[in-house]
Amino acid sequence: MTFRVPTKTANSSGRGTTAATHPGAGNRDTLARTEVTRVLSSDRRRTLLEHLLDAGTALDVHTLIGWLADDEHGPTVETTIHQLRQRVHVSLRRTHLPLLEEYGLLVYNQTEELVVPTWRLELYESVLESDDRS
């Protein structure tokens, strides 16, 4: 199973988005099922992508952290919301944002702490919606 990538569009600055650097993504017009499965294998990544799709614009990393932590928070004695937010922040910066950037789904501006969706993110919209309906 493969997914057709929408035509590249210009971002708000008028320049096209850059191609992904991941060998699985590259400049191809499709992504293999294994690549889609890898990207969507994490609940945290799926939720992050859903928030980006809903927003349709750049989001502050701290806003994303808050949303993800709130989504995942279950009141327990062991973990406070502050501790959970710290864990989410570390996992986003070290794992999830770099992987999603490699596949060309977003651009993570570490200096400004912004996450910007790219044209490739549209590819995952139908897959994420079908997961929600299941």
Average pLDDT by stretches of 10, the chain with 134 residues: 39 39 47 78 93 94 94 75 92 95 93 93 80 58
What type of residue is 7? T
Residue 30 confidence (pLDDT)? 60
What type of residue is 62? H
Residue 81 confidence (pLDDT)? 84
Give CA–CA dist 49/25, Å, rounded.
17
Residue 133 confidence (pLDDT)? 52
Give CA–CA dist 31/103, Å, rounded.
9
User: Model-level pTM?
Assistant: 0.72
Two tokens, residue 27: 């400049």
Closest CA to 47 of 19, 31, 67: 67
